[in-house]
Chain A
C-alpha cells in the first residue's frame, strides 16, 4: 500500500523497508566489482544498511572457489574501501554471505545451476526469493543475460507482492540513438520499467542530490534562476588522469559516450529542470525529460562552431611528463577518438531562452574537478566602474567533486579611502559543516535499488532523449574525421578552439 496511506508510516521519518535479498553481480571478477561494488557492500553492511538476510553471488567466467573469491574481495575492500582498516568483526559476517558462481553469460546450464544455488541460499539464509542482478559487464552482454534470466524463471512478474527481482544496468546504455532504442526494445520483453535500474553513478553523489535541495529549498536562488538574470552556465567535468588501462574501452567509446551522454546531461537536466510536482521518482524524471526535449537540435553550423573535440598529446601533469593518448596502451597510434569535448547547447523553453549552456569535459586536463557554474548578468554599470572596467559578474559555483561545496563570487569594497572594488568569494564546504566523509555513490545507489526507489536512476526516455541530442554529433564526426589530433598538450585546458568559442562572444571558461 502507498507509504503515505499507511498509518504506521511517518513520511520523512520512518526508515525505508530493506527486504532480505540476494545480489548477483555479473562480471564479478571485473575492475568495477573490486574497486567500487564490493567496497560499497562492505560499507553498507558495516553501517547496518544491508538487510540482515543477505547474500552476494559473484557470477563470472573464470573458474574459482567461493574461498578464492572471498579472499580477493577482502583484498579489494582493504585497498579501495573509503573506511580503513577493514573491520574484522564485520568482515566475518560478509565473508559468510559471499559466494561464487562460474558460468559463461550465454550458457543455459549455468543459469539453471544459478537458479538452484539461489534457491538453496534462500533456504539457508532466508533471503525470501528477492533478487537483485547487477550487470557489471560489457554492454553487448546485457540482452543475453536478461534473456537467460527471464528464460530460467529468475525474473518475476513486477506485480508479484511476495517477492521481487530487479536489474541494475551499468552505462553505457547503447552507443547511439538507434542502438539504445534496440537495447531498450530487447530488454523490455523481459523486464518492466520498474524493474530496470540504469545506473549513472553521478546521481548517487550527495552533491548532485543537493542540487535539487539547493534550488528548490532556497527561494533567493530560484527567483534568479532564469534568462533575466543568468548570462550563461558552464558545466565542467575535468580529469587530470589519462585513460589508464581502459585503452580498449576508450577506443570503442570515446569521451562523449563515456561522460557527456550520461553524467553531463544528468547535471544539465538537474540545473535546468522545473520544480517537480513531488519528490517521487517519476515526478523528478518527468521534469528532467522535459529539459532534454527542450534542447535545441544541433545544426551543421553548430557542429562547426559550437562543438569542439580534442585529443591529448604529450605534456606535463603536475610538472611530471605525461604521454599522449596515441601512446597509451591498447590505443591505435592513429586514433581519432576524442578525449576532450566542449559543447554549446541552448534550451528553448520559457526559462532558459537565449542562455547558452557550455559543457566541457576532458582527460589529462590540469586538475581533476567537476563543477557547475552559473554566471550571472552584469550589474548595471552606472556606479562603481573602475576606469571604465566593468566589475566581474557574480558567479555561483557548485563543486560536485572534489572539495564538495558551493561558492559565490561577489564584488566587495577594499578597505581604505580609494575604494577599489575587488571580487571576493563566499565559500561553503561540505566538510566544514558535516565533517564526515559522505557515502560513495555506489553505496547509495545499491541501497536505493534494494529499497526499490528509482529516483536516482535514469529512465528509458531520459536515455533516449539524451541520445537524440548527441547522436548527430557522432554522425557528423564519423563523416568528418579530425585532421589536427592530437590538438592539446596534457596538462592544458584543452584545444585553443575551445577557448575561441567563448572568447568570440566575450566570455571565458572558468579556471577550476
Chain B
C-alpha cells in the first residue's frame, strides 16, 4: 500500500492520478472489478471488518471506498485520504484504488456527495453495511441508492427477528440485491448436508429425519457476541427447504416440528470463530445416524460417520473448502442476485424466532 495522502475531497481523483503516474514506472497495473463501499463505525470490530475487506480485494481488486464513522468525536469532521493498495503484497503488479473517509457528527451528511463523483461507472457497486440495519442511520438510504448489492452482517443485529423483517422488507421494496455474512459463514455446512443427501436413497432418509442437533462454539469475543445465529440459520434453512411444520420452541433452543425434534447447543472450542457451527447430528425415524463433527486439529475438516442398527460405515471427511480459504465471504460479496434459499430461510426464521429466542 502506498502511504495514505490526506487530501481535500476535490483533490481525490487528481491525487490518485498522480500516484498512478508514479506507479506506472514500477509496472503496476490498475485493476478494478467493482466499486466496494464499506460503512463502519469505529469499534472493536473495525479490524475484523478490514480483514474481511482485505480478503475480498486479494481475490477481486476493486475501488475501495472505506467510510469510518467516529461515534464519540470532540467535534464534527470529514477527512479524506487516498492511497493505492497492492492486495497481493508489494511485489504484486496488480493494485487498486483506496479512498478512506473519516467522518463524525453532522458532517456525515456530506459523505454521499463526496462519494458520488468517485463511483466508477458501468461496473457494480457493492455496499458492505457493517452496522445493524434495524437502527436508522442517515447514510443508509443515500448509500443504498447508489449500489446494486448490500451486504449485511446479522452479527451486528441486536434482534434477529427485527433484522430478518428489515431485510425482507428492504428486498420487497427495492431492487437491490442482499447478502449476509452470517449466511455465508454457514455455506460449508449447507454444502455438506446437501452432498450428504444427494442420492435418491439418501434423500428418502432425509425425509424420515426425526432428530437434529446442532452445536456451536459458544466462546464469545469482543466483536462476536450473537453466537447462536449461524446455528439457527442452518436449522431454519433445512426446515424451510424440507417444509417442516413448526410447532413450538423454548428459550433453551429446543424446537419441535411435526415429527422432528431439533436442538441447538453451545460448546467451547479454542482457535475457532465464535458462533461457528461445530457439529450437526441427524437421526432418522428408522435409526440411521449421520454424525458430522469438525476435527479439532484440522477444524476446516468435518468427520462424517454414517451408521444404522445393522452397519457402521468407515468415517470420512468433508472439507469446508470455501470456508477454509475465506472464499464464502468473498463469493457472497461478489455473487449476483439474492439467494432464494436465504430469503426463504429468513421468512421461516420469523416463525421459528417469533418469541425472540436469538
Contact = CB atoms under 8 A, between A and B. Distances in A.
Nearest to B319: A52
B31 A433 contact: yes
Contacts of A9: 194, 198
A403 to B, nearest CB: 11
Interface stretch (B268-276, B285-293, B335-343, B346-354): B335-343
19 contacts: A1-B198, A1-B203, A7-B241, A8-B190, A8-B241, A13-B335, A14-B191, A15-B321, A18-B195, A20-B316, A47-B321, A47-B325, A52-B318, A126-B316, A128-B314, A161-B200, A432-B29, A432-B94, A435-B88
B60 A48 contact: no
B199 A51 contact: no
Contact of B316 (A52, A161, A436): A52
A10 interface: yes
A48 B325 contact: yes
Interface string A39-79: 00000000111111100000000000000000000000000
A479 interface: no
Contacts of B242: 7
Interface string A423-441: 0000000011111100000
Nearest to B241: A7
Nearest to A162: B199
Contacts of B93: 431
B9 interface: no
A194 interface: no
A127 B315 CA distance: 10
A318 B199 CA distance: 57
A128 B94 contact: no
Interface string A157-168: 000010000000
Interface in B180-225: 187, 190-191, 193-195, 197-201, 203, 206
Contacts of B49: none
A419 interface: no
A293 to B, nearest CB: 36
Contacts of A15: 187, 191, 321-322
A435 B316 contact: no
A17 interface: yes
Name which of B59, B194, B206 has the most chain A CB atoms within 10 A of its CB: B194
B317 interface: yes
B32 interface: yes
Considering the complex of A and B, which 5 residue pairs feature the smallest CB-CB distances, nearest first? A52-B317, A48-B321, A126-B316, A435-B61, A435-B94
Interface in A17-31: 17-18, 20
Interface residues of B, number: 47
Contact of B315 (A48, A51, A126, A436): A126
Given A1-B200, A435-B31, A436-B59, A126 B191 contact: no
Contacts of A50: 319
Interface in A460-500: none
- At the interface, is chain B mostly helix, strand, loop or mixed? mixed
A435 to B, nearest CB: 4
B324 interface: yes
How many residues of A sit at the interface, in one of the four size bands? 20 to 34
Contacts of B320: 48
B87 interface: yes
Interface of A: 1, 6-10, 13-15, 17-18, 20, 47-53, 123, 126-128, 161, 431-436
B314 A432 contact: no
Contacts of B241: 7-8
A1 B199 contact: yes
Given A13-B339, A434-B33, A6 B194 contact: yes
B194 A432 contact: no
B301 interface: yes
Contacts of B148: none
Contacts of B301: 52
Given A1-B203, A10-B340, A432-B30, A17 B316 contact: no
A13 B198 CA distance: 15
A458 B174 CA distance: 45
Contacts of B340: 10
A123 B316 CA distance: 10
B98 interface: no
B191 A433 contact: no
Contact of A6 (B29, B88, B94, B203): B203
B228 interface: no
B202 to A, nearest CB: 9
B322 A10 contact: no
Given A6-B194, A14-B190, A52-B301, A433 B201 contact: no
Contacts of A1: 198-200, 203
B226 interface: no
B226 to A, nearest CB: 24
Nearest to B188: A15
Given A10-B341, A14-B191, A435-B96, 6 more contacts: A9-B198, A10-B339, A10-B340, A48-B320, A434-B61, A436-B94
B190 A431 contact: no
Contact of B29 (A126, A127, A431, A436): A431
Nearest to A20: B316
A433 B316 contact: no
Contacts of B32: 432-433
Contacts of B341: 10, 13
Given A13-B341, A15-B322, A434 B60 contact: yes
A326 B32 CA distance: 48
Contacts of A14: 190-191, 194
Contacts of B191: 14-15
B300 interface: yes
Contacts of B187: 15
B242 to A, nearest CB: 6
A433 B123 CA distance: 11
Name which of B32, B316, B320, B341 has the most chain A CB atoms within 10 A of its CB: B316
